[in-house]
Amino acid sequence: MTGKSILRDVAQAAGVSLRTASRVLNDDPNVAEATRDRVQSVMRDLSYSPDLMARSLRAGKDATIGLVVESVADPFFSALIAAVELAASQTANSVFIASTLGDPERERHLVGQMLQRRISGLLLAPTADDHSWLQALISTTPVVLVDRPAPGLDADLVAIDDRAAIAVAVNHLTARGHRRIAYIGDHPNVLTSRERLAGFQETMAAHGLSSAPELVHANCPDPQSAAEATRALLSEHNPTAIISAATRCSLGVVPVLHATRRTEVALVGFGDFAMADTLQPGITVLDHPAGSIGTAAVERLTARLGDPSLPLVSTRIPVALIERGSGELTA
């Protein structure tokens, strides 16, 4: 057979009706397993790919998932995007991606644009603003929140437990004798950053330790500000350990520790990054699993599209501590 196969070719080769082949294509659960296997085998043999535009016209929705994140340049969101694109491709969906840059008005505009394109569903890493404006839209366009909940919006959520993750870092350092632990993180108006800061303060207090204001720099949204905070800490307050509460912060902290030859200061970073395992010492990190979060978010959105009546769930992805040396230095 020459040229691109159409669904009628698949049906004929599999010995089924066009309607049955269409039901297999659309994952109808009422198709017999043997029939489904036979049709799918023929699809593979004929290298059949569905006409996404035609499917969209029939369904009244685009075969596209919307993904709105804070910044495509952020290492965490970059990895999450890659995972979402891979998972979506396995369900014959494309992904339309946009960045809010942390701006609530920009987020509203972007979400509005996506809804006008008739996306099938939306994955959203929300800004810190109230999201009650989005609640009425969930009945027609399913939304799954990624990485953080949205104030005023009841929706499925796939994220980690930020407080518990930071507690792991504090416990790891205190177990190695550290008492003067500094904290560098993003602004607390970002929900995940607020939770991480609270987790740091609570766990320090549980160990009878002070999270003194001079050791806390919760105002570092980028590597440059994190580098400045690190220099100030080293020159003025002499911590024995630092917790970097975001990958972009770590990208500022690590170069300063090496440039000033202060790698005896223990470090635990939130989120892995390129070459963290090749430095001397290797950087101990809390593995913020962007890939697992992205994959689970697509799976939840796919389930929600298949059955809009499903109850809302919050899925918490585990965070693991990867010990590489920097966080094992003793006080």
Q: pLDDT tens-digit profile of 194-211? A: 999 999 999 999 999 999
Contact 170, 207 (CB under 8 A): yes
Q: Is residue 135 part of a domain?
A: yes
Q: Which amino acid is at 327?
A: G
Q: Sorting pLDDT into bands at 50, 70 and 90, what band is 83? A: very high
* CATH number of the domain enclosing 40: 1.10.260.40
Mean pLDDT of 306-314: 92
206, 304: one domain: no
175, 110: one domain: no
Q: Is residue 66 part of a domain?
A: yes
* CATH number of the domain enclosing 255: 3.40.50.2300
Give residue 49's pLDDT. 66
Give residue 23's pLDDT. 80
The answer to whether residue 26 scores a pLDDT higher than 90 is no
The answer to whether residue 62 scores a pLDDT higher than 70 is no
Q: Is residue 284 part of a domain?
A: yes
149, 224: one domain: no
**Using the 8-state DSSP alphabet, how is residue 136 labeled?**
G
Measured between alpha carbons, how far is 181 from 244 in angstroms, rounded to an integer?
11
Q: Mind listing the pLDDT tens digit for each residue in 120-152?
A: 999 999 998 899 999 988 878 999 999 999 999
Give residue 139's pLDDT. 78
Measured between alpha carbons, how far is 206 from 277 in angstroms, rounded to an integer?
31
Mean pLDDT of 167-189: 96
CA angle 322, 323, 328 (to 5 degrees): 150
In 3-state terms the chain splits into helix, strand, coil percentages (rounded to 5) of 45, 15, 40
Q: Sorting pLDDT into bands at 50, 70 and 90, what band is 60? A: very low
Domain count, the chain: 3
Q: Is residue 196 part of a domain?
A: yes
Q: Sorting pLDDT into bands at 50, 70 and 90, what band is 92? A: confident
Supply 130's token pair: 């109230």
189, 278: one domain: yes
Give residue 43's pLDDT. 85
Q: Mind listing the pLDDT tens digit for each residue in 209-232?
A: 999 999 999 999 999 999 999 999
167, 130: one domain: no
Structural domain for 302, as ranges? 59-160+290-316
Q: Is residue 330 part of a domain?
A: no
Nearest CA among 39, 57, 59, 35 for reference residue 48: 39
Contact 35, 24 (CB under 8 A): yes
Strand order in the sheet with 94-99: 94-99, 64-69, 121-124, 143-146, 156-159, 314-316
Give residue 31's pLDDT. 85
Mean pLDDT of 160-167: 97
Give the global pTM: 0.77
149, 238: one domain: no
79, 38: one domain: no
CA distances from 252 to 154, 165, 274 (A): 36, 21, 14
Q: Is residue 324 part of a domain?
A: no
Q: Which amino acid is at 156?
A: D
Q: Is residue 33 part of a domain?
A: yes
